[in-house]
Amino acid sequence: RRLLRRPELEELFGRYSGEDRVLSAEELRDFLRDQGEDASLRQARAIIRAYELNEKARQQDLMMLDGFMMYLLSAAGDILNQEHTKVHQDMSQPLCHYFISSSHNTYLIEDQIRGQSSIEGYIRALKRGCRCLEVDCWDGPNGEPMVYHGHTFTSKIPFREVVSTLGKYAFKTSDYPVILSLENHCSMEQQEVLAQQLKAILGEQLLTTTTDGRVPTQLPSPEELKHKILLKGKKIGRLEDTLDGLGDEAPDASDDDNGAEAEEERRRVKVGGTQHGSALQKDKESLAQALSDCVIYCKSVSFRGFQEARSHSRPSEISSLAEAKARKLIRDAGNEFVRHNAWQLTRIYPSGMRTDSSNYSPQEMWNVGCQIVALNFQTAGTEMDLCDGLFSQNGCCGYVLKPAFMRDEETLFNPSDPSSWEGPGPITLTIQVISGQQLPKVANSKDGAIIDPLVRVEIHGVPADQAHQETKYIENNGFNPRWDETLQFQLHVPELALVRFVVEDYDKTSRNDFVGQFTLAFANIKPGYRHIHLLSKDGTSIPPSSLFVHI
């Protein structure tokens, strides 16, 4: 019992309960009001009935210290707004109005050169709420297309296995559509096999025509596409040709993740000049009609500038950009990028140099409204914490509605230009870091080693909001460290801000060791006294480790 004592909660309890050390329903109501919760007597009584352990107290609508602690440690006392942990956003807007949880080279579970390719990669990503998966297809033996990272030593898995895994796990975590991004390097014969396997294995789940049989003027919504799998890839001709059952144009060259091919593609396009230059592609580059017909809303096209897209492109087309290209566009044409993403999908993928499967920061891509920001899900770290943090809301369904100013094609918003932001001016976020509970030891530490914990709070958002502050470290106490320090941040664009709480073990001679973290969108933070339940490096929970803060 002594071990479970929480002096800071006793102080808080005493502040509201007064002399008698018992909370009446009225006193609890005052506490709820200060917490920004529904503060009615009815609610206070309901909480007492749910959390008070002592039968007598419960009957008299009174709450003792233990019940109060139970309440603050429950989901109701969590920093993450529990209302937002179910699907609560409008799901009837066009796909391009959402951030979409997306994975890069999903079949890899290690690095990009020698790593294992595995079905496990798809299962893990889907369980984590990922909605855009990637598959690289190459000709395999006996007419069976294989999935692996071309020109490397990564192991291979049959395409049909990937597709059946997809069919089985696609909608276990979320009902909303899955986009399968197909990198197709197969011969004509094996492309036919790809199309055949997709149709045979996925059946009704594979989307093979528009939702209403007409050519769309805008993308359909996640709601309309529930339980559907969409293929993203090259397409012969235009969508109306598929709907009329014809198609004769050669496919567009598309940006390709794999450096060497992309180079070759760019050279070819330069030689051919215009888009029709791509008709000069070698025969092996041509596309099987059956596979082309499976691509409806996500036709891959090369990006040739925002003006060009505005005049010649359409909502059902999508370009892929490497991270460096995207960064340059953000620097040179931030506002145009935001406008473009209000009507068309953009996919961002990691640089080919990241052979170790490291990740880039997704935040700067989200700041301009890019929807499909593909990360290496197998690599733990800040970038995946941000991804898990953003998508932990809205029922973990893999779709998060973008703020209103990013869904307007005439928006003036530019993340790096403060004069373009509308709004009441900066919001002040004040975080009092009070205490920690039962923090885990650092992996591979010596026996009997005790951590010296500190807490760092990071703000990830538009450049002007990026910031971090940390508390001092507490020597030799991972059990119940007490910081009582106040950190303060100014947020100019709170709608895009993510807040990351990190606990580290201070080390004066080398880098601090990671202990635990929790990340969430600013929009999902509840004010008042809150517990933060920490997650380990790979995003899994580590009960009963927590932080106690006041927001």
In the residue annotation, 149 being an active-site residue is answered as yes
pLDDT for res 257: 52
Has residue 516 got a pLDDT over 90? yes
pLDDT for res 247: 42
pLDDT for res 184: 96
Q: Where in the chain is the domain with CATH 2.60.40.150?
A: 424-550
Has residue 419 got a pLDDT over 60? yes
Helix axis angle, 159-169 to 188-202, nearest 10°? 20
Has residue 389 got a pLDDT over 80? yes
Query: Yes or no: is domain 95-236+287-406 CATH 3.20.20.190?
Result: yes
Which of 149, 185, 460, 531 is catalytic? The answer is 149
The rounded distance, in Å, linking the Cα atoms of 136 and 7 is 56
- Contact, 138 vs 169, CB < 8 A? no
Please write down the HEC assignment for all residues of 351-364. Answer: CCCCCCCCCCCCHH
Reported confidence tier of residue 279, pLDDT bands at 50, 70, 90: very low
Residue closest to 528 by CA, chosen among 37, 18, 23:
37
pLDDT for res 240: 83
pLDDT digits (tens, 9 = 90+) for 517-538: 999 999 999 999 999 999 999 9
Residues comprising the binding site for substrate? 232, 234, 320, 347
Has residue 252 got a pLDDT over 70? no
pLDDT for res 266: 45
- Write out the two tokens for 548: 């106690």
Buried/exposed code over 176-188 (b: 16+ C-beta within 10 A; e: otherwise): bbbbbbbbbbbbe
Least reliable range by pLDDT among 162-166, 257-261, 296-300, 353-357 = 257-261
In the residue annotation, 104 being an active-site residue is answered as yes
CA 42: distance to chain centroid?
37
Average pLDDT over residues 435-442: 94
Residues comprising the binding site for Ca(2+)? 105, 134, 136, 183, 450, 452, 476, 505-507
Q: What does 400-450 look like in DSSP terms, one character per residue?
A: EEPPGGGS-TT----TT-GGG--SSSPEEEEEEEEEEESPPPPTTPPTT--
Which of 84, 104, 531, 533 is catalytic? The answer is 104
pLDDT for res 244: 72
Residue matched to tokens 């953003």: 390
Identify the DSSP state of 378: T
pLDDT > 70: what percent of the chain? Answer: 93
| CATH code matching the domain that covers 424-550, chosen among 3.40.50.300, 2.40.10.120, 3.40.190.10, 2.60.40.150 | 2.60.40.150
pLDDT digits (tens, 9 = 90+) for 359-383: 999 999 999 999 999 999 999 999 9
Record: fold of 7-77: Recoverin; domain 1 (1.10.238)
pLDDT digits (tens, 9 = 90+) for 72-113: 999 999 999 999 999 999 999 999 999 999 999 999 988 898
The rounded distance, in Å, linking the Cα atoms of 213 and 478 is 61
Reported confidence tier of residue 411, pLDDT bands at 50, 70, 90: very high
Reported confidence tier of residue 242, pLDDT bands at 50, 70, 90: confident
pLDDT for res 56: 96
DSSP H stretches of helix in 181-249: 188-202, 239-244
The rounded distance, in Å, linking the Cα atoms of 253 and 271 is 12
Reported confidence tier of residue 263, pLDDT bands at 50, 70, 90: very low
Reported confidence tier of residue 61, pLDDT bands at 50, 70, 90: very high
Has residue 387 got a pLDDT over 70? yes
- Cross-strand partners of 489: 429
Has residue 116 got a pLDDT over 80? yes
User: Which pTM was predicted?
Assistant: 0.92
Residues comprising the binding site? 105, 134, 136, 183, 232, 234, 320, 347, 450, 452, 476, 505-507
How many other C-beta atoms can be found within 10 angstroms of the C-beta atom of residue 97? 24
The rounded distance, in Å, linking the Cα atoms of 369 and 371 is 6
pLDDT for res 227: 98
Reported confidence tier of residue 154, pLDDT bands at 50, 70, 90: confident
CA 71: distance to chain centroid?
30
Reported confidence tier of residue 213, pLDDT bands at 50, 70, 90: confident
pLDDT for res 115: 84
Has residue 501 got a pLDDT over 60? yes
Q: Where in the chain is the domain with CATH 1.10.238.10?
A: 7-77
Has residue 268 got a pLDDT over 80? no
The rounded distance, in Å, linking the Cα atoms of 75 and 82 is 7
Mean model confidence pLDDT for the chain? 92
